[in-house]
Chain A
Amino acid sequence: MHALTDALVITKRQLLQLARVPEVLIFSTIQPVMFVLLFRYVFGGSIETGQPGGYVQLLMPGIFVQTTAFTLAATASGLAEDMQKGLIDRFRSLPIARSALVFGRTLGDGLLNILVLAVMGLAGYLVGWRPTSGILKISLAFLFLLAFGYALSWVGIFAGLAARDARVVQNVSFLVTFPMTFLSNAFAPTTGMPKPLQYVAEWNPVSTMVAACRQLFGLENKFGATAGSFPSENPLTMSLIYMAIILVIFVPLSVRKYTNKVTK
């Protein structure tokens, strides 16, 4: 079947878009780098971590996770725009595998994430981030981040297909992902939050992802919430469970939505 090659043509389209409008790529990497610098120098001085190497060690995993979560908005709005412009109709009138468009898109998002994570890693290194766990575990952490990003891009696909307007879905995605990344252990200890929020933060997939990455980068998770709870004790397992749940729900939903999509 042509399913794979069709998907790759779609992925190539996404990369071509970036080549034709390089500003998009530049700004989508500047933003996370800006976050690295802001958090490192604005909050870094006032948050006591007890961590050798200081706040930046704890911060980087948080920002990595946040950035992969934010790409969801771009996926969603890109797809919603394709729908609005009638491009999805054209793709659907072609003799291509039904799954090609959505799979191709998630693949492209994955490639984009690799690039963004690399740029951020470099920026982190320049401001003092030094993971200590060795090349194998560090690579594993990045793979883990890419897997998380991949799972989330399916959420973006679904949101994009369900949306009526590209701008709306972009704003809505941001309204969801922004608090989600802050209601977590990504930037500050959860112990300072009101009790109910602590539970939210503790079970938040962003927290388990951040905690898992910290572990893989060779850190103790000093920002974790209640010791002894399942997600704080087993962040890697819990993150994998979350990813599986997301994929199991959103892959079939998105493919179905795409196949049945009836525009006005």
Chain B
Amino acid sequence: MKSIVAQDLLKTYNKGAIRALDRLSLDVEEGTVLGVLGPNGAGKTTTVRILATLLTPDSGSANVAGIDVIKHPDKVREIIGLSGQYAAVDETLTGWDNLVMFGRLYHLGKAASIKRAEELLERFSLTESARRPIKTYSGGMRRRLDLAASLIVKPKVLFLDEPTTGLDPRGRLEMWGVIEELVKDGVTLLLTTQYLDEADQLADDIAVIDHGKVIARGSSDQLKREVGGERLEVVVEQAHVAPTMAIVAKVSGTKASFDEGLRKISAPVTTGAGALIEVLRALDGAGIHPLDVALKRPSLDDVFMALTGHVAEVEEVPTGGKKKRKGGNR
């Protein structure tokens, strides 16, 4: 069964001048994780906001757990959890205050709200800091609390919009662990990210979006295969570049490319390790000693590059405050 279905979502701004979503369609099987991968401005957040009832599309339809998000937003709100790009909790209040407040707003009643808050604090290792104001928390702790707030009613469907953007490596790893735990419990998760490794790590299925459209869909392996199989890379001394290129081209059956800066010769191969052995034998026979040889599977970065024609623009979004302005002095 599909837990999330979005069809032909269109959302424009400035009277159609900006197309945030350009007939985007996607679906997520119940109990699985879909990673929505794309650069800034691709339409990830807009998609999440529509599915989480915060925004109405210009046209198109969307269902979450079988409920129409446009016609029955209130019913959808009862079964979803949303954790956004910025930690949306009250910073002056303590972690405990926040979770109890959100519990009350889910109409859990006082005792149940307190009980649930304490469970979640325990689960996300925040019990010790429960009575401290959020503004004293680290970035990772804030995100965990934000996530806890979205889990108060044990949502069937969870939306995480860039859950690790702005976190340090340790915070990211912690967050990944927490998300993996959640997935084990069977929640359906839609996760947006601009980190390719994150999608690789957490998602069963990946939808690559760019300019408001899904441009590729599949498991991480499928996407990598789609872009082409493995590449053979050989680095040699300058003097050996020409003969090496000939050898590599012969083995791969296509033209080899050459990166001057790295003196790296590469070509796509289909026979994997067999091609590697073949090239090494030929090089040895020609008396060429390679400085480095590698057989590389494409990374999601390569996938992204191949699909969109540009690299994924990873831009750090600060968790608070504004970007510093450059120049302008004097």
Residues of chain A touching chain B, judged by Cβ–Cβ distance below 8 Å, are 2, 5-6, 9, 12-13, 16-17, 20-21, 85-87, 89-96, 100, 262
Chain A residues positioned under 8 Å from B102 (CB to CB):
90, 94
Q: Is the CB of B88 within 8 A of A89?
A: yes
Q: Is the CB of B88 within 8 A of A95?
A: no
Q: Is the CB of B52 within 8 A of A93?
A: yes
Q: How far does the Cβ of B127 sit from chain A's closest Cβ, in whole Å?
A: 19
Segment 67-103 of B: residues with Cβ below 8 Å from A: 74, 77-78, 80, 82, 84-94, 97, 101-102
Q: Which residue of A lies closest to B102 (CB)?
A: A94
Question: CB < 8 Å: which of A6, A9, A93, A96 contacts B82?
Answer: A93
Q: CA separation between A94 and B113, bound complex, in Å?
A: 15
Q: Is the CB of A262 within 8 A of B85?
A: no
Chain B residues positioned under 8 Å from A87 (CB to CB):
88-90
Q: How far does the Cβ of B12 sit from chain A's closest Cβ, in whole Å?
A: 12
Q: Is the CB of A86 within 8 A of B106?
A: no
Q: Which residue of B lies closest to A165 (CB)?
A: B322
23 contacts between A and B (CB under 8 A): A2-B107, A5-B107, A9-B101, A9-B104, A12-B101, A13-B90, A20-B133, A85-B91, A86-B84, A86-B87, A87-B88, A90-B84, A90-B88, A90-B102, A90-B149, A91-B105, A94-B102, A94-B106, A95-B74, A95-B77, A95-B106, A95-B107, A262-B55
Residues of chain B touching chain A, judged by Cβ–Cβ distance below 8 Å, are 49, 52-55, 74, 77-78, 80, 82, 84-94, 97, 101-102, 104-107, 133, 149
Q: Is the CB of B101 within 8 A of A93?
A: no
Chain B residues positioned under 8 Å from A90 (CB to CB):
82, 84, 88-89, 102, 149
Question: CB < 8 Å: which of A16, A94, A262 contacts B105?
Answer: A94
Q: How far does the Cβ of B102 sit from chain A's closest Cβ, in whole Å?
A: 7
Q: CA separation between A13 and B74, bound complex, in Å?
A: 23
Q: CA separation between A146 and B187, bound complex, in Å?
A: 48
Question: CB < 8 Å: which of A21, A86, A91, A96 contacts B85?
Answer: A86
Chain B residues positioned under 8 Å from A2 (CB to CB):
107
Chain B residues positioned under 8 Å from A96 (CB to CB):
105
Chain A residues positioned under 8 Å from B86 (CB to CB):
85-86
Q: Is the CB of B54 within 8 A of A6?
A: no
Q: Is the CB of B97 within 8 A of A16?
A: yes
| CB-CB under 8 A for A9 and B105, given A16-B97, A89-B88 | yes
Chain B residues positioned under 8 Å from A6 (CB to CB):
105
Interface of A is mostly: helix
Q: CA separation between A140 and B285, bound complex, in Å?
A: 104
Q: Among the interface residues B49, B55, B91, B105, which one has the most CB atoms of the partner chain A within 10 A?
A: B105
Q: CA separation between A95 and B77, bound complex, in Å?
A: 5
Q: Is the CB of B149 within 8 A of A93?
A: no
Beyond A16-B97, A94-B106, A95-B107: 5 further Cβ-contacts under 8 Å?
Answer: A9-B105, A13-B93, A85-B86, A91-B105, A94-B77
Q: Which residue of A lies closest to B322 (CB)?
A: A165
Chain A residues positioned under 8 Å from B88 (CB to CB):
85-87, 89-90
Q: Is the CB of A93 within 8 A of B80?
A: yes
Q: Which 8 A-B pairs have the closest CB atoms?
A: A86-B88, A90-B88, A95-B77, A86-B86, A93-B82, A9-B104, A95-B78, A17-B92
Q: CA separation between A100 and B91, bound complex, in Å?
A: 20
Q: How far does the Cβ of A117 sit from chain B's closest Cβ, in whole Å?
A: 24
Q: CA separation between A87 and B83, bound complex, in Å?
A: 10
Chain A residues positioned under 8 Å from B133 (CB to CB):
20
Chain B residues positioned under 8 Å from A93 (CB to CB):
52-54, 77, 80, 82
Chain B residues positioned under 8 Å from A95 (CB to CB):
74, 77-78, 106-107
Q: CA separation between A86 and B82, bound complex, in Å?
A: 11
Q: How far does the Cβ of A91 sit from chain B's closest Cβ, in whole Å?
A: 7
Q: Is the CB of A92 within 8 A of B101?
A: no
Q: CA separation between A5 and B104, bound complex, in Å?
A: 9
Q: CA separation between A90 and B97, bound complex, in Å?
A: 15
Q: Which residue of A lies closest to B94 (CB)?
A: A20
Q: How far does the Cβ of B134 sit from chain A's closest Cβ, in whole Å?
A: 10
| CB-CB under 8 A for A89 and B54, given A20-B133, A94-B77 | yes
Chain B residues positioned under 8 Å from A100 (CB to CB):
105
Chain B residues positioned under 8 Å from A16 (CB to CB):
93, 97, 101
Q: Which residue of A lies closest to B91 (CB)?
A: A85
Chain A residues positioned under 8 Å from B94 (CB to CB):
20
Q: Among the interface residues A6, A13, A94, A100, which one has the most CB atoms of the partner chain B within 10 A?
A: A94
Q: CA separation between A90 and B88, bound complex, in Å?
A: 6
Q: CA separation between A91 and B85, bound complex, in Å?
A: 15
Chain B residues positioned under 8 Å from A85 (CB to CB):
86-88, 91
